Structure 1
């Protein structure tokens, strides 16, 4: 499943038939780098070749998804940036996500930046790793790409893992039906997953795509965040790439659910 996540992070949204026996970098070179000129033309058709839109897309792909951070990276004003994002949403290339309100009057006196989601994982990959490095790639020099991809591949997969965890909770959570999952963020705190069951129970979650086991510290941290935000979750769900510590596993029960990448295989059935 880890391999599937890594490959989907790059090729999700395309119709490329992949040989899963080949390394990801080999597939990237064969299907993307070596096909740069053709793919560039296809993508330019989507955006009318607009350089400003490409700059905004790269900024969104490389930032923490908050619009304010992306516009700062792209060196544009908020008004100019949000006009571009609205246009890209109309083009069905991006969607905008807002933080969940935990209390009725929350955020009335402050602005919390929206976050951007790419509709296609492949387009996110393209504007993070290909478009900004087009000069070398166009000339057949892939060294800068490989260096950047090596340094950011793990981090870049985090969002895809988180999105799959949301899909799992919506479609495969057997304890109670959940219609919609959201995320919470403000200037100080973040929750990877926030949802309510049909009976009104609050579910929060953490999604850690790291090469180490998740310990009880993560559970404690989550509950401290909830305490600071003045609410109490009924169910906590933790997702982890490499599993959990023995201490944390001993706490599993009605109010704590633990899932790994293997759990996500249920999405394929």
Structure 2
């Protein structure tokens, strides 16, 4: 299941028609080398150099929309984002954070709150596009010199970090399916101070979750971190859902209940 997820994080569902196509490769990196790196000059994107630079920035960063202001003037950043939205390369994920307001309408907010900027985030239209602009586009010079192994090593070193977002997206899908949440939107919630990977609410009923794509088991202390975040939001979650690539500690497994849901890699078979 682990390898199948890795293929999805890179190729989505359109490169390989069925599982037998995937099985011609021993692992994801062999597939990347043969299907992408060796064929890099076959992929053509109708983009300007500035648009490509913006996509590389989004693919490597926290994806906050205004992050482009660090490399472009503000007016130009907005135009680039609008053009990429129109070209269907990206999707805008609006922040759910509430803008700071004074408790008393006659009061004035402190200066740092008046200047506080809430950030929308950018999602790539596909996993493949995000992979390309994170690993391939920045290394085209090396690929043109046939330095395929060198580029592949760069990918291997950063692959788990790259995969965490794809794992988070699939975790939302799995939770939605397991709990039959057809009418409830599941999303990530972020502020300047913290982020909750999975967040859903309906009529005062809250579900929160954390997603870990790491080479170590998730331990009980994650519950304390979740509790601190929920305190800052002023909520008490009814269900906490945890997702882990490498499983959970025995202590955490012993706490599993209808209010504490634990999901491991094998659970993702439900999405196949």
TM-score (norm 1): 0.88
Higher Rg of the two aligned structures: 2
| Aligned-pair CA distance for 1:143 | 3.8
Across the aligned residues of Structure 1 and Structure 2, the Cα RMSD in angstroms comes to 1.9
| Aligned-pair CA distance for 1:107 | 4.2
Partner of 2:84: 88
| Aligned-pair CA distance for 1:186 | 1.0
Secondary structure of the structure 1 residue equivalent to 2:208: strand
| Aligned-pair CA distance for 1:98 | 2.0
Partner of 1:207: 211
CA distance in 2, matches of 1:162, 1:114: 18
Residues 1:267 and 2:271 are matched in the alignment: yes
Residues 1:78 and 2:82 are matched in the alignment: no
CA distance in 2, matches of 1:107, 1:260: 38
How many residue pairs are counted as aligned between the two chains? 255
Contact 1:210 1:241 in 2 (8 A): yes
Partner of 2:171: 165
CA distance in 2, matches of 1:35, 1:14: 16
Partner of 1:51: 49
Contact 2:212 2:243 in 1 (8 A): yes
Residues 1:193 and 2:198 are matched in the alignment: yes
For structure 2, the residue ranges without an aligned partner over 5 or more in a row are 102-113
Contact 2:38 2:148 in 1 (8 A): no
Deviations 1:181-226 (A, max 9, x none): 11111111110010024x5410000000111111110011101111
Partner of 2:110: none
The 5 A counterparts of 1:1-269 are 1-12=1-12, 14-16=14-16, 18-20=21-23, 21-39=25-43, 41=44, 43-44=45-46, 47=47, 50-72=48-70, 75-101=71-97, 105-107=98-100, 110-174=116-180, 179-197=184-202, 200-268=204-272
Contact 1:13 1:120 in 2 (8 A): no
| Aligned-pair CA distance for 1:70 | 4.3
CA distance in 2, matches of 1:194, 1:106: 18
For structure 1, the residue ranges without an aligned partner over 5 or more in a row are none
CA distance in 2, matches of 1:243, 1:70: 36
CA distance in 1, matches of 2:83, 2:176: 29
